[in-house]
Amino acid sequence: MEGTIQGGGGKTLFFERLLPNGTELIDSAKIDKSGNFKLYGRPQDKSFYKIRLGRPQQANNFAIPVNEVVLITDSTEIIRFEADASNFNRSHTVQGSAESQLLKEIGDMAIKTQARLDSINKAYQSNPNGFDAVQANAVMNTIMAEQDAFLLDFIKKHEGKFVTQQALALLNPDKNFDAYRKASDALFSNYGNNPFIQNLNAMVQNMMKLAIGTVAPDFSVKTPDDKPVSLNDFKGKYVLLDFWASWCGPCRQENPNLVKTYEKYKKKNFEIFGVSLDQKKEPWLEAIEKDGLVWPHGSDLGYWNSAPAKLYNVSQIPYNFLLDPEGKIIAKNLRGAELDKKLEEVFAAL
Protein backbone atom coordinates (compact mmCIF):
# COMPACT_ATOMS: atom_id res chain seq x y z
CA MET A 1 0.00 0.00 0.00
CA GLU A 2 1.19 3.49 -0.80
CA GLY A 3 -0.20 6.99 -0.87
CA THR A 4 -0.03 10.56 0.33
CA ILE A 5 -1.03 12.19 3.61
CA GLN A 6 -1.15 15.95 3.14
CA GLY A 7 0.43 17.65 6.15
CA GLY A 8 1.55 14.30 7.55
CA GLY A 9 5.29 14.65 6.99
CA GLY A 10 7.30 13.11 9.86
CA LYS A 11 4.31 11.32 11.38
CA THR A 12 3.98 7.55 11.61
CA LEU A 13 1.28 5.54 9.87
CA PHE A 14 0.20 2.18 11.28
CA PHE A 15 -1.51 -0.64 9.38
CA GLU A 16 -3.36 -3.15 11.58
CA ARG A 17 -5.71 -6.09 11.26
CA LEU A 18 -8.88 -5.72 13.32
CA LEU A 19 -9.81 -8.64 15.56
CA PRO A 20 -12.97 -9.08 17.64
CA ASN A 21 -10.98 -8.36 20.80
CA GLY A 22 -8.21 -6.07 19.63
CA THR A 23 -5.79 -5.42 16.77
CA GLU A 24 -2.72 -7.02 15.22
CA LEU A 25 0.04 -4.83 13.79
CA ILE A 26 0.94 -5.66 10.19
CA ASP A 27 3.30 -2.79 9.32
CA SER A 28 4.17 0.83 10.05
CA ALA A 29 5.94 3.56 8.09
CA LYS A 30 7.11 7.11 8.63
CA ILE A 31 5.60 9.61 6.21
CA ASP A 32 8.25 11.60 4.30
CA LYS A 33 8.37 15.39 4.21
CA SER A 34 6.30 15.44 1.01
CA GLY A 35 3.57 13.41 2.65
CA ASN A 36 4.31 10.17 0.79
CA PHE A 37 4.42 6.71 2.39
CA LYS A 38 4.76 3.03 1.56
CA LEU A 39 3.57 0.10 3.63
CA TYR A 40 5.09 -3.25 2.69
CA GLY A 41 3.13 -5.49 5.05
CA ARG A 42 0.35 -7.35 3.28
CA PRO A 43 -3.08 -8.30 4.58
CA GLN A 44 -4.10 -11.95 4.39
CA ASP A 45 -7.71 -13.07 3.98
CA LYS A 46 -10.48 -10.56 3.38
CA SER A 47 -11.38 -8.83 6.61
CA PHE A 48 -11.44 -5.50 8.43
CA TYR A 49 -8.13 -3.63 8.56
CA LYS A 50 -7.23 -0.22 9.91
CA ILE A 51 -4.90 2.63 8.98
CA ARG A 52 -4.04 4.83 11.94
CA LEU A 53 -2.18 8.15 11.85
CA GLY A 54 -0.12 8.52 15.03
CA ARG A 55 -1.08 7.37 18.49
CA PRO A 56 -4.49 5.90 19.36
CA GLN A 57 -7.12 8.54 20.12
CA GLN A 58 -10.50 8.59 21.82
CA ALA A 59 -13.38 7.64 19.54
CA ASN A 60 -15.68 10.43 18.37
CA ASN A 61 -19.49 10.36 18.21
CA PHE A 62 -19.39 7.91 15.33
CA ALA A 63 -17.34 5.35 17.29
CA ILE A 64 -14.33 5.75 14.96
CA PRO A 65 -11.38 7.85 16.16
CA VAL A 66 -10.71 10.80 13.87
CA ASN A 67 -7.18 9.59 13.11
CA GLU A 68 -8.27 6.13 11.92
CA VAL A 69 -9.79 4.67 8.76
CA VAL A 70 -11.19 1.14 8.49
CA LEU A 71 -10.66 -0.76 5.24
CA ILE A 72 -11.89 -4.06 3.84
CA THR A 73 -9.16 -5.70 1.79
CA ASP A 74 -7.09 -8.84 1.22
CA SER A 75 -3.74 -9.91 -0.25
CA THR A 76 -4.91 -9.54 -3.87
CA GLU A 77 -5.49 -5.77 -3.75
CA ILE A 78 -2.97 -3.01 -4.36
CA ILE A 79 -4.24 0.06 -2.57
CA ARG A 80 -3.49 3.73 -2.96
CA PHE A 81 -4.62 5.73 0.06
CA GLU A 82 -4.82 9.52 0.32
CA ALA A 83 -5.97 11.82 3.10
CA ASP A 84 -5.39 15.13 4.82
CA ALA A 85 -3.70 14.81 8.22
CA SER A 86 -5.88 17.54 9.71
CA ASN A 87 -9.10 15.73 8.75
CA PHE A 88 -7.85 12.18 8.35
CA ASN A 89 -11.02 10.13 8.68
CA ARG A 90 -13.38 12.39 6.72
CA SER A 91 -10.99 13.35 3.91
CA HIS A 92 -9.62 9.96 2.93
CA THR A 93 -9.98 8.31 -0.48
CA VAL A 94 -9.16 4.72 -1.39
CA GLN A 95 -8.26 3.35 -4.81
CA GLY A 96 -7.80 -0.34 -5.63
CA SER A 97 -10.15 -1.66 -2.94
CA ALA A 98 -13.77 -1.92 -4.05
CA GLU A 99 -15.20 -2.97 -0.69
CA SER A 100 -13.32 -0.21 1.12
CA GLN A 101 -15.05 2.26 -1.15
CA LEU A 102 -18.39 0.65 -0.36
CA LEU A 103 -17.55 0.83 3.32
CA LYS A 104 -17.01 4.56 2.95
CA GLU A 105 -20.48 4.86 1.37
CA ILE A 106 -21.99 3.36 4.51
CA GLY A 107 -19.89 5.61 6.74
CA ASP A 108 -20.86 8.75 4.83
CA MET A 109 -24.52 7.80 5.07
CA ALA A 110 -24.28 7.18 8.82
CA ILE A 111 -22.57 10.54 9.36
CA LYS A 112 -25.31 12.37 7.45
CA THR A 113 -28.00 10.54 9.43
CA GLN A 114 -26.35 11.44 12.73
CA ALA A 115 -26.02 15.08 11.67
CA ARG A 116 -29.76 15.22 10.95
CA LEU A 117 -30.56 13.71 14.33
CA ASP A 118 -28.14 16.09 16.05
CA SER A 119 -29.91 19.07 14.47
CA ILE A 120 -33.14 17.99 16.17
CA ASN A 121 -31.35 17.68 19.50
CA LYS A 122 -29.85 21.15 19.07
CA ALA A 123 -33.30 22.55 18.33
CA TYR A 124 -34.53 21.09 21.60
CA GLN A 125 -31.59 22.46 23.57
CA SER A 126 -32.03 25.95 22.12
CA ASN A 127 -35.77 26.13 22.85
CA PRO A 128 -36.98 23.28 25.11
CA ASN A 129 -40.26 25.01 26.00
CA GLY A 130 -41.27 25.59 22.40
CA PHE A 131 -40.08 22.19 21.20
CA ASP A 132 -42.73 20.04 19.50
CA ALA A 133 -41.74 16.58 20.75
CA VAL A 134 -44.44 14.75 18.78
CA GLN A 135 -43.38 16.30 15.47
CA ALA A 136 -39.70 15.79 16.31
CA ASN A 137 -40.31 12.11 17.04
CA ALA A 138 -42.09 11.72 13.71
CA VAL A 139 -39.16 13.37 11.91
CA MET A 140 -36.65 11.12 13.70
CA ASN A 141 -38.67 8.05 12.77
CA THR A 142 -38.64 9.20 9.14
CA ILE A 143 -34.87 9.73 9.25
CA MET A 144 -34.27 6.25 10.67
CA ALA A 145 -36.70 4.70 8.16
CA GLU A 146 -34.72 6.33 5.33
CA GLN A 147 -31.49 4.93 6.76
CA ASP A 148 -33.04 1.46 7.02
CA ALA A 149 -34.22 1.67 3.41
CA PHE A 150 -30.71 2.61 2.29
CA LEU A 151 -29.17 -0.27 4.25
CA LEU A 152 -31.66 -2.86 3.05
CA ASP A 153 -31.14 -1.79 -0.57
CA PHE A 154 -27.35 -1.84 -0.04
CA ILE A 155 -27.46 -5.36 1.40
CA LYS A 156 -29.64 -6.63 -1.43
CA LYS A 157 -27.42 -5.02 -4.07
CA HIS A 158 -24.20 -6.40 -2.56
CA GLU A 159 -25.44 -9.71 -1.17
CA GLY A 160 -22.64 -11.95 0.08
CA LYS A 161 -19.98 -9.23 0.09
CA PHE A 162 -17.97 -8.78 3.27
CA VAL A 163 -19.00 -5.12 3.51
CA THR A 164 -22.64 -6.02 4.11
CA GLN A 165 -21.64 -6.95 7.65
CA GLN A 166 -21.18 -3.24 8.39
CA ALA A 167 -24.61 -2.47 6.93
CA LEU A 168 -26.10 -5.13 9.19
CA ALA A 169 -24.43 -3.52 12.21
CA LEU A 170 -26.48 -0.36 11.59
CA LEU A 171 -29.74 -2.20 10.90
CA ASN A 172 -32.22 -3.10 13.62
CA PRO A 173 -32.42 -6.91 13.45
CA ASP A 174 -35.70 -7.05 15.37
CA LYS A 175 -37.50 -5.07 12.67
CA ASN A 176 -35.69 -6.64 9.72
CA PHE A 177 -34.87 -10.13 10.91
CA ASP A 178 -35.57 -12.02 7.67
CA ALA A 179 -33.22 -9.75 5.71
CA TYR A 180 -30.70 -9.89 8.55
CA ARG A 181 -30.69 -13.70 8.65
CA LYS A 182 -30.46 -14.03 4.86
CA ALA A 183 -27.50 -11.65 4.69
CA SER A 184 -25.79 -13.42 7.59
CA ASP A 185 -26.20 -16.81 5.91
CA ALA A 186 -24.67 -15.46 2.69
CA LEU A 187 -21.71 -14.02 4.61
CA PHE A 188 -21.14 -17.25 6.52
CA SER A 189 -21.23 -19.21 3.26
CA ASN A 190 -18.51 -17.00 1.78
CA TYR A 191 -16.39 -16.17 4.85
CA GLY A 192 -17.17 -18.84 7.44
CA ASN A 193 -13.60 -18.87 8.79
CA ASN A 194 -13.56 -15.14 9.57
CA PRO A 195 -13.97 -14.45 13.32
CA PHE A 196 -16.28 -11.45 12.74
CA ILE A 197 -18.57 -13.54 10.53
CA GLN A 198 -18.49 -16.40 13.04
CA ASN A 199 -19.58 -14.01 15.79
CA LEU A 200 -22.34 -12.62 13.58
CA ASN A 201 -23.57 -16.12 12.76
CA ALA A 202 -23.60 -17.10 16.44
CA MET A 203 -25.56 -13.95 17.29
CA VAL A 204 -28.14 -14.68 14.57
CA GLN A 205 -28.49 -18.27 15.80
CA ASN A 206 -29.24 -16.93 19.29
CA MET A 207 -31.67 -14.40 17.87
CA MET A 208 -33.55 -17.16 16.04
CA LYS A 209 -34.45 -18.63 19.42
CA LEU A 210 -36.22 -15.33 20.17
CA ALA A 211 -37.61 -14.61 16.70
CA ILE A 212 -41.18 -13.46 16.11
CA GLY A 213 -43.44 -16.51 16.29
CA THR A 214 -41.25 -18.55 18.67
CA VAL A 215 -42.35 -19.45 22.19
CA ALA A 216 -40.68 -17.20 24.75
CA PRO A 217 -38.44 -19.26 27.06
CA ASP A 218 -39.66 -19.58 30.63
CA PHE A 219 -37.71 -18.42 33.68
CA SER A 220 -38.31 -17.79 37.36
CA VAL A 221 -37.33 -14.86 39.58
CA LYS A 222 -38.36 -13.46 42.96
CA THR A 223 -41.10 -10.89 43.44
CA PRO A 224 -40.53 -7.83 45.66
CA ASP A 225 -41.90 -9.85 48.59
CA ASP A 226 -39.49 -12.74 47.82
CA LYS A 227 -42.01 -15.13 46.30
CA PRO A 228 -41.16 -17.08 43.13
CA VAL A 229 -42.79 -15.94 39.90
CA SER A 230 -42.28 -17.37 36.42
CA LEU A 231 -43.10 -16.11 32.96
CA ASN A 232 -45.36 -19.11 32.35
CA ASP A 233 -47.55 -17.94 35.24
CA PHE A 234 -48.98 -15.36 32.83
CA LYS A 235 -49.92 -17.72 30.00
CA GLY A 236 -53.45 -17.11 28.80
CA LYS A 237 -52.89 -13.35 28.64
CA TYR A 238 -51.14 -10.95 26.33
CA VAL A 239 -47.96 -10.10 28.24
CA LEU A 240 -45.43 -7.32 27.86
CA LEU A 241 -42.17 -8.70 29.25
CA ASP A 242 -40.39 -5.47 30.19
CA PHE A 243 -36.67 -5.41 31.06
CA TRP A 244 -35.74 -2.26 33.01
CA ALA A 245 -33.92 -0.97 36.12
CA SER A 246 -34.28 1.83 38.64
CA TRP A 247 -30.88 3.25 37.63
CA CYS A 248 -31.79 3.37 33.91
CA GLY A 249 -32.77 6.92 32.87
CA PRO A 250 -34.49 5.96 29.59
CA CYS A 251 -36.42 3.26 31.46
CA ARG A 252 -37.72 5.74 34.01
CA GLN A 253 -38.67 8.14 31.19
CA GLU A 254 -40.64 5.37 29.49
CA ASN A 255 -42.46 4.29 32.65
CA PRO A 256 -45.20 6.98 32.43
CA ASN A 257 -46.05 5.66 28.97
CA LEU A 258 -46.29 2.13 30.35
CA VAL A 259 -48.55 3.34 33.16
CA LYS A 260 -50.95 4.84 30.59
CA THR A 261 -50.78 1.72 28.44
CA TYR A 262 -51.50 -0.55 31.39
CA GLU A 263 -54.46 1.53 32.50
CA LYS A 264 -55.88 1.42 28.96
CA TYR A 265 -55.54 -2.33 28.37
CA LYS A 266 -55.42 -4.05 31.77
CA LYS A 267 -59.08 -5.11 31.49
CA LYS A 268 -58.51 -6.60 28.01
CA ASN A 269 -56.56 -9.69 29.04
CA PHE A 270 -53.30 -7.72 29.08
CA GLU A 271 -50.51 -7.85 31.67
CA ILE A 272 -47.06 -6.35 32.12
CA PHE A 273 -44.32 -8.38 33.78
CA GLY A 274 -41.45 -6.10 34.79
CA VAL A 275 -38.03 -7.75 35.16
CA SER A 276 -35.45 -5.51 36.78
CA LEU A 277 -31.70 -5.49 36.27
CA ASP A 278 -31.15 -3.82 39.62
CA GLN A 279 -28.41 -4.90 42.01
CA LYS A 280 -30.08 -3.86 45.26
CA LYS A 281 -33.63 -4.35 46.37
CA GLU A 282 -34.25 -0.95 47.97
CA PRO A 283 -33.89 1.30 44.89
CA TRP A 284 -35.86 -1.24 42.84
CA LEU A 285 -38.81 -1.08 45.25
CA GLU A 286 -38.56 2.71 45.54
CA ALA A 287 -38.73 3.09 41.75
CA ILE A 288 -41.76 0.78 41.52
CA GLU A 289 -43.61 2.88 44.09
CA LYS A 290 -42.48 6.29 42.85
CA ASP A 291 -43.33 5.55 39.20
CA GLY A 292 -46.65 3.89 40.03
CA LEU A 293 -45.82 0.55 38.43
CA VAL A 294 -48.74 -1.49 39.72
CA TRP A 295 -48.16 -4.62 37.60
CA PRO A 296 -46.23 -7.77 38.62
CA HIS A 297 -42.46 -7.50 39.05
CA GLY A 298 -39.52 -9.83 39.50
CA SER A 299 -35.73 -9.78 39.66
CA ASP A 300 -32.74 -11.86 40.62
CA LEU A 301 -30.85 -8.61 41.40
CA GLY A 302 -28.12 -9.76 39.05
CA TYR A 303 -27.50 -6.44 37.22
CA TRP A 304 -26.13 -7.25 33.73
CA ASN A 305 -25.55 -10.83 34.89
CA SER A 306 -29.31 -11.21 35.34
CA ALA A 307 -30.22 -14.73 34.22
CA PRO A 308 -33.43 -13.65 32.42
CA ALA A 309 -31.57 -10.84 30.64
CA LYS A 310 -28.91 -13.27 29.42
CA LEU A 311 -31.59 -15.77 28.38
CA TYR A 312 -33.22 -13.06 26.26
CA ASN A 313 -29.94 -11.59 24.91
CA VAL A 314 -30.76 -8.23 26.50
CA SER A 315 -27.76 -5.90 26.11
CA GLN A 316 -29.60 -2.59 26.52
CA ILE A 317 -32.61 -1.39 28.45
CA PRO A 318 -35.43 -0.62 28.30
CA TYR A 319 -36.20 -3.63 26.16
CA ASN A 320 -39.42 -5.59 25.91
CA PHE A 321 -41.13 -8.55 24.29
CA LEU A 322 -44.86 -8.72 23.57
CA LEU A 323 -46.26 -12.24 23.97
CA ASP A 324 -49.60 -13.71 22.95
CA PRO A 325 -51.70 -15.92 25.30
CA GLU A 326 -49.79 -19.01 24.12
CA GLY A 327 -46.51 -17.41 25.10
CA LYS A 328 -45.37 -16.75 21.52
CA ILE A 329 -43.39 -13.59 20.75
CA ILE A 330 -45.43 -11.28 18.51
CA ALA A 331 -43.36 -8.06 18.77
CA LYS A 332 -40.18 -6.68 20.31
CA ASN A 333 -38.89 -3.44 21.76
CA LEU A 334 -42.01 -1.32 21.36
CA ARG A 335 -42.24 2.00 23.19
CA GLY A 336 -44.74 4.80 23.59
CA ALA A 337 -46.98 5.26 20.57
CA GLU A 338 -45.55 2.18 18.83
CA LEU A 339 -46.63 -0.06 21.70
CA ASP A 340 -50.08 1.51 21.88
CA LYS A 341 -50.54 1.10 18.12
CA LYS A 342 -49.56 -2.56 18.26
CA LEU A 343 -51.92 -3.27 21.15
CA GLU A 344 -54.75 -1.50 19.32
CA GLU A 345 -54.14 -3.82 16.36
CA VAL A 346 -54.01 -6.90 18.60
CA PHE A 347 -57.22 -6.22 20.47
CA ALA A 348 -59.09 -4.88 17.43
CA ALA A 349 -58.57 -8.27 15.78
CA LEU A 350 -60.13 -10.21 18.69
Q: For position 21, which CATH number holds?
A: 2.60.40.180
- Domain match, 165 and 228 both: no
Q: How far is it, in rounded angstroms, from Cα 9 to Cα 15?
A: 17
The answer to whether residue 215 is domain-embedded is no
203 & 167 share domain: yes
> Strand 47-53 and strand 68-73: pairing?
antiparallel
Among the three residues 56, 74, 96, which one is the final residue of a domain in this structure? 96
Which of 347, 97, 332 minimizes the C-alpha distance to 209?
332
Q: Are residues 67 and 112 in the same domain?
A: no
Q: Are residues 252 and 328 in the same domain?
A: yes
**One domain for residues 88 and 118:** no
DSSP 234-292: GTTSEEEEEEE-TT-HHHHHHHHHHHHHHHHHTTTTEEEEEEE--SSHHHHHHHHHHHT
Domain total in the chain: 3
- Of the CA atoms within 13 Å of residue 104, those in its CB half-sphere come to 18
Last residue within a domain, chosen from 158, 183, 208: 208
Domain boundary pick from 208, 237, 269:
208
Is the residue at 199 inside a domain?
Answer: yes
Strand partners, 36: 4
CA distance 189 to 204: 14
Is 108 in the same domain as 123?
Answer: yes
Q: Which of 44, 42, 40 is nearest to 193 (CA)?
A: 44
Q: What is the pLDDT of residue 177?
A: 87
Q: What's residue 60's pLDDT?
A: 56
Given this model, what pLDDT does residue 346 score?
Answer: 94
pLDDT at 63: 61
38 close to 47: Cβ distance less than 8 angstroms: no
- Looking at residue 285, its pLDDT comes to 97
The answer on 164 and 284 residing in a single domain is no
Domain with 19 in it:
2-96
213: in domain: no
Q: DSSP letter string over 298-332?
A: EB---GGG-HHHHHTT--SSSEEEEE-TTSBEEEE
- Beta-sheet strand order (sheet of 329-332): 297-298, 270-276, 238-244, 319-323, 329-332
Q: How does pLDDT run along the chain (350 residues), one tens digit per residue?
A: 999 999 999 999 999 999 999 999 999 999 999 999 999 999 989 999 999 999 988 765 546 789 999 999 999 999 999 999 999 998 999 999 999 999 999 999 999 999 999 998 888 888 878 878 778 878 988 999 999 999 999 999 999 999 999 999 999 887 888 899 999 999 999 999 999 999 999 989 888 889 899 999 999 999 999 999 999 999 999 999 999 999 999 999 999 999 999 999 999 999 999 999 999 999 999 999 999 999 999 999 999 999 999 999 898 999 999 999 999 999 999 988 889 999 999 998 77
Please check whether residues 61 and 168 belong to one and the same domain: no
